[in-house]
Structure 1
Amino acid sequence: MPQQDIYRSPSGRQLLLDGYRAQLAAWPGTPEQRHVPTPEGETFVVSAGPLTAPPLVLLHGSGSNSAQWVARFAELTPHFRVHAVDIIGEPGLSAPSRPEPGTDRYAVWLDAVLDQLGLSEVDIMGYSLGSWLALDYAIRRPARVRRLALTCPPGLSRPRKGYLLKAVLLAPFGRWGKRRTVVGMLGRGLSTVDLDAVVEHTVRMSTHYRYRSGELPVFTDEELAGLTIPVHVVVGAEDVMLDAAITKQRLETHVPRATVRLLPGVGHLVPPQDSELEFLTAEGSRHG
């Protein structure tokens, strides 16, 4: 896929990537930045933390990049060698390739990323799309994943589509309509963050970037039952994109070592939770 195809125009691509590069230049500290080769093209990785610390891979959400994690590096790097990976086909500095979900190509891609980083086994923290990729990888490559810390993972229930109709109905109302759409999609958790900044980012992204189309495959009961590693999941009870109750029920029923936190009054935008770091650093949650 030509790189400009995931953007609505060459100028839009330049605008978004220039903004991302500015965020990288302002990143606190001096994280290592590199491109690693994979079968899907080069993949961009931001790394920081002690070289001898356990490795933690971060996979961001859709329509995003590793800048999503900048505020969490200070919390995570005292405990881990953290590697934030720009997912292919997203508005970051990785290749624009978008393999068909449900094939093993994302697993092969992540194999190559970990191999290039010299990592045989990792913990993974994922958000939304990144959570789906983390689950898919752990199911396909159980020997390479120790623990999963996931937020709002797709693939456990059929996606809800009612919010898309509301977005269409609000579109003629300009910025007010877009603001209402963003709040409706991401939920009341927005009260804990800078609403204007989130709206501006989301509107800018949807103006210049083509989000993925189609549904992510839903994992089977058998696939979930094969996950014997510890899995910690945080879900907003008011998520309009996912069925939070079904997500919780399937994980607790089929994943032997799953813990699920359902957050009341929160939608798809989930603020960082203390339970994630507690889970990742707890001795009892280690593989085996």
Structure 2
Amino acid sequence: MIYKTEAGEREILRRYEQSLANWPIPAEHRRVPTREGDTFVLVCGPVDAPPLVLFHGSGSNATIWMGDVPAWAEHFRVHAIDMIGEPGFSAPARPPLHSPAYARWLDDVLEQLGLDRVAITGASLGGWLALDYATRRPDRIEKLALLCPGGVGRQKIGFLFKALLYKPFGTWGTRRSIQAVAGVDPREEPEIAEYLTLMFTHFLPRRDRLPVFSDEALGKLAMPVMVIVGGRDAMFDSHDTARRINRAVPHASVTVLPEVAHSIIGQTQPILNFLRT
């Protein structure tokens, strides 16, 4: 069970359908079978363009890429995947993070989509998934662009106390918790804040710590790698992430945005420039 109630699940998926109806460019809606259950994928961009796979973070779905897709789909065949166990249209399965299960699931997804080698952009939990796959299947990855990826820098626990502190205060508390943890200010980004409030009112996020990749595993990343982190990230130690990537993957491009929190936006063009070079 990944939702608190069936009514909450219906409300989240209803809102998701509305968002998909406003997807900024024409897209195919595909549901592909895998060993973990059906997986939902939004596919857009020129059929003959190189493939780009997108992984969102925890408590989200493909809609986080709506602002990026118009630019990226001019040059790539974009596949925005709803991760299993998250509030999208994919199966609610949550296999063990320490196992090869997620890599095998993604093997199935890519096979069903007819994809061999791909570039991947992933955020937070999606960044962890991208790294997990790239360290296990390095020959299948063209490039990696990662936003605040999990599994590298120290995972903080202070954000859990902040979330619990605001929990008794209803919707107001949820919004304050989102601002404290994700860095999304309801006054500046009201639509994002409202959507996240809906998610975390009804959705049960994973509570287990993300497995940390060893230097040996990170050293397998011979492909071009771009990492962007926020200096004020409440969930991961971004400076630790930057240090470890610089040490273990010396050819990687690493950017620390000093005043940015966990939610990183406005990187459409830098990521596109990296993917195209």
Is TM more than 0.5 here?
Answer: yes
Q: Which amino acid aligns with 2:174?
A: K
Q: Name the residue aligned to 2:275.
A: 280
Q: Name the residue aligned to 1:112.
A: 108
2:212 maps to which of 215, 218, 231? 218
1:204 maps to which of 177, 185, 198? 198
Q: CA deviation at 1:232?
A: 0.1
Write out aligned runs for 1:119-158 (5 A).
Answer: 119-158=115-154
Q: Which amino acid aligns with 1:32?
A: E
2:41 maps to which of 45, 52, 60? 45
Q: Name the residue aligned to 2:93.
A: 97
SS in 2 for 1:45: strand
Q: Name whichever of 9-18 and 163-172 sits farther off.
A: 163-172
2:29 maps to which of 16, 26, 33? 33
Q: CA deviation at 1:168?
A: 1.9
Q: Name the residue aligned to 2:18.
A: 22
Write out aligned runs for 1:260-275 (5 A).
Answer: 260-273=254-267, 274-275=269-270
CA distance in 1, matches of 2:11, 2:172: 23
Residue-by-residue CA offset, 1:234-274 (whole Å, 9 max, x unaligned) = 00000011001110000000013211100011000111313
Write out aligned runs for 1:163-242 (5 A).
Answer: 163-187=159-183, 190=185, 194-242=188-236
CA distance in 1, matches of 2:136, 2:263: 28
Residue pair 2:121, 2:127 contacting (<8 A) in 1 also: yes
Residue pair 2:174, 2:201 contacting (<8 A) in 1 also: no
CA distance in 1, matches of 2:135, 2:263: 26
Q: CA deviation at 1:152?
A: 0.3
Residue-by-residue CA offset, 1:158-182 (whole Å, 9 max, x unaligned) = 2111121122223334444333222
Residue pair 1:76, 1:82 contacting (<8 A) in 2 also: yes
Q: Which amino acid aligns with 1:158?
A: R
User: What is the TM-score of this pair, normalised by structure 1?
Assistant: 0.92
Q: CA deviation at 1:194?
A: 4.2
Q: Name the residue aligned to 1:285.
A: none
Residue-by-residue CA offset, 1:97-152 (whole Å, 9 max, x unaligned) = 11100211100111111111111100000011100000000000011101100000
Where in structure 1 are there 5+ consecutive unaligned residues?
A: 283-288
Q: CA deviation at 1:32?
A: 0.7
User: What is the TM-score of this pair, normalised by structure 2?
Assistant: 0.95
Where in structure 2 are there 5+ consecutive unaligned residues?
A: none
CA distance in 1, matches of 2:62, 2:179: 23
Q: Which amino acid aligns with 2:247?
A: T
Q: How many residue pairs end up in the alignment?
A: 276
Q: Which amino acid aligns with 1:229?
A: M
Residue-by-residue CA offset, 1:211-237 (whole Å, 9 max, x unaligned) = 012101000010011111111000000
CA distance in 1, matches of 2:107, 2:19: 27
Q: Name the residue aligned to 2:82.
A: 86
CA distance in 1, matches of 2:175, 2:38: 35
Q: CA deviation at 1:80?
A: 0.3
Residue pair 1:228, 1:256 contacting (<8 A) in 2 also: no
SS in 1 for 2:37: coil
Percent of aligned pairs with the same amino acid: 49
SS in 2 for 1:33: strand
Q: CA deviation at 1:73?
A: 1.2
Q: CA deviation at 1:190?
A: 4.2
CA distance in 1, matches of 2:271, 2:36: 30
